[in-house]
Amino acid sequence: MGGWRFGDPNGRRKWFSHAEPFAGLPGFQLAYETWGTLNAEASNAVLVLHALTGDSHVAGGVEPGHPTPGWWDALVGPGRPLDGFFVVAPNVLGGCQGSTGPWQYPDFPGLTIRDQVRAEVHLADFLGVEQWAAVLGGSMGGMRAVEWAVGEPDRVKSLLLLATTAAASAEQIGLASAQLHAIRANSVEGLGVARRIAHISYRTEQELQARFERGRQEDGRFEVESYLDHHAAKLTRRFDSASYVTLTEAMNSHDVGRSRGGVKAALRRVKARTLVAGVDSDRLYPLAQQRELAAGIPGADGLRVIASPYGHDAFLIESEQVGALVRELVPVRSGSR
C-alpha cells in the first residue's frame, strides 16, 4: 500500500477517530489539516471541502518546513482571503489520503454524500465548532458544502458553492458510469482510463484545440493523447482505484432533495448567506445547475460567473476570481476574528 494512503506526506495531517459504528463501518477516522487558530468564541472556523481527487492539503508554504504546494494555495496564508480564520480541511470519508477508505476493508460499504457530511459533523463537534463562519467547496466539495447547509442549516453561517449542483444529472451519472466500468474491468489500467474520460470533461473543446491541434509526439501519439496519458499516469501514482469508485458512486447518489420533498424544498432550508458561482465554459457542471442553486437558496446573492477558457477545472485554476468571491463572502473585519 502506498504511503499516501496511510502516511503524512506533508507532515501536517491530524486524525479524528470515531469509535462507534457508522454508515456500515465499525467506526472511522478522518485525516484533516488546519491553518490558523480557533478564536475564543469559536466564530472564525472555515470548512474547505476538496473535489474528487483532492485532499486535505489546501495550502503549502504557509509555515516553514511545509513547502509542498496545495490545491488552493491562493486562499490560505498571510494577506490571503482566509488569513485570520481557522481553516479546517478534511480528507473525505472514503478517500485515500489518510481517511478511512475502501483500501482498508474488503467489503467497504457504499457511501453517500450525506454519510460523508455526517462524518464531518462529528469532526466539527470534536473541534468545538458549533457554527462554521463559512463552508467552501467546488465540484464534489460543493456537493458536500450544499449538503452541509441543507442538512445542518444552523451550523453554516455562510456558504460558497463553486461549479457544483444540487443533484447529479443524468449526464454526470452517465460519464461516471463509463469510468466505473473501466475500473471494474481492470482496477489499475481502468483508473487511468477513468481519468482520461474525466479529464476531457474537466476541460473545453476550445482549450484542447488551441493547445494541441492535431500535433503528434515523436513516438507517434497525438499531443492530446500524450497529455491525457500524463494525467492518467499521474493520478494512478497518487490515487486508489477503490476510493475513486466509492467517491464516484457517492457523487452519483448526490441529491439534496432526496427524502426532503425535492430539491426546491431542500434548498429552502438553507439559512446561510450564500454565493453560488459557475464557470462560463464548464461542460460538466453547466451554469444551469448553479442557476438552480442560486434561485433556490433564500440567502443566495444571484449567480456569479467565473470567466475562463479552462472549463470545470477553472474552480482550481482561476484562483484570483475564486479569491475575490471568498473575500466578498467572508470580508476581513480587523480584530473581529
Ligand X SMILES: CC(=O)SCCNC(=O)CCNC(=O)[C@H](O)C(C)(C)COP(=O)(O)OP(=O)(O)OC[C@H]1O[C@@H](n2cnc3c(N)ncnc32)[C@H](O)[C@@H]1OP(=O)(O)O
Ligand Y SMILES: N[C@@H](CCO)C(=O)O
Smallest distance from the beta carbon of 96 to ligand Y, in angstroms?
13
Is 313 a binder of ligand Y (CB under 6 A)? yes
74 near ligand X (CB under 6 A): no
- Catalytic residue list contains 99: no
Out of 131, 169, 226, 236, which residue is the one contacting ligand X (CB under 6 A)?
Answer: 226
Interface with ligand Y in residues 194-253 (CB under 6 A) = 202
Nearest alpha-carbon partner for 195 in 153, 155, 243: 243
The amino acid at residue 122 is H
Residue 52 interacts with ligand Y (CB under 6 A)? yes
Nearest to residue 202, comparing CAs of 75, 306, 56, 315? 315
Task: Work out how close the CB of 198 gets to ligand Y at its nearest, in angstroms, rounded to a whole number.
Answer: 7
139 binds ligand Y (CB under 6 A): yes
Residue 97 within binding range of ligand Y, rule CB under 6 A? no
Distance CA 152, CA 135 (A): 11
What 303-307 contacts at long range (C-beta under 8 Å, 24+ apart), as own/partner pairs, is 303/276, 303/277, 303/278, 304/275, 304/276, 304/277, 304/278, 305/277, 305/278, 305/279, 305/280, 306/162, 306/163, 306/277, 306/278, 306/279, 306/280, 307/280
Q: Determine how many CB atoms are found less than 10 A away from the CB of residue 178.
A: 12
Q: DSSP of 270-334, one letter per residue?
A: --SEEEEEEETT-SSS-HHHHHHHHHHSTTEEEEEEE--SSGGGHHHH-HHHHHHHHHHHS---T
Distance (Å, rounded) from C-alpha 23 to C-alpha 43? 30
For ligand X, the closer CB: 121 or 317: 317
Q: Which of 33, 55, 120, 282 binds ligand X (CB under 6 A)?
A: 55
Cα→Cα distances 207→215, 313, 322, Å: 14, 12, 20
Q: Of the candidates 230, 233, 288, 298, which one interacts with ligand X according to CB under 6 A?
A: 230
Work out whether 69 is an interface residue with ligand X (CB under 6 A).
yes
What residue type is 127 in one-letter code? L
Per partner kind, with CB cut-offs from 5 to 8 A, the member of ligand Y, ligand X, none near residue 69 is ligand X
| The one catalytic residue among 18, 99, 115, 139 | 139
Output 133 or 200, the one with its CB closest to ligand Y.
Answer: 200
Task: Enumerate residues 279-318 that contact ligand X by CB under 6 A.
Answer: 313, 316-317
> Binding ligand X by CB under 6 A: which of 85, 132, 227, 285?
227
> What is the SS3 string spanning 62-83?
CCCCCCCCCCCHHHCCCCCCCC
Establish if 240 lies at the interface with ligand X (CB under 6 A).
Answer: no
Whether 139 is catalytic: yes
Binder of residue 223, out of ligand Y, ligand X, none (CB less than 5 to 8 A by kind): ligand X
Nearest distance, CB of residue 75 and ligand X, angstroms? 13
C-alpha cell at 265: 424544498
CB 25 within 8 A of CB 111: no
Check 281, 282, 313, 319 and give the catalytic one: 282
If the CB atoms of residues 52 and 133 are measured against ligand Y, the closer one turns out to be: 52
| Stretch of residues binding ligand X (CB under 6 A), selected from 52-60, 77-85, 150-158, 249-257 | 52-60
Site string (31-50) toward ligand X, x via CB under 6 A: -------------------x
Q: Does 53 bind ligand Y (CB under 6 A)?
A: yes
**Torsion sign over Cα 158, 156, 300, 312:** positive
Does 29 sit near ligand X (CB under 6 A)? Answer: no
Task: Establish whether 115 is a catalytic residue.
Answer: no
Cite the active site residues: 139, 282, 312
Residue numbers at the binding site for ligand Y (CB under 6 A): 51-54, 139-140, 202, 313, 316
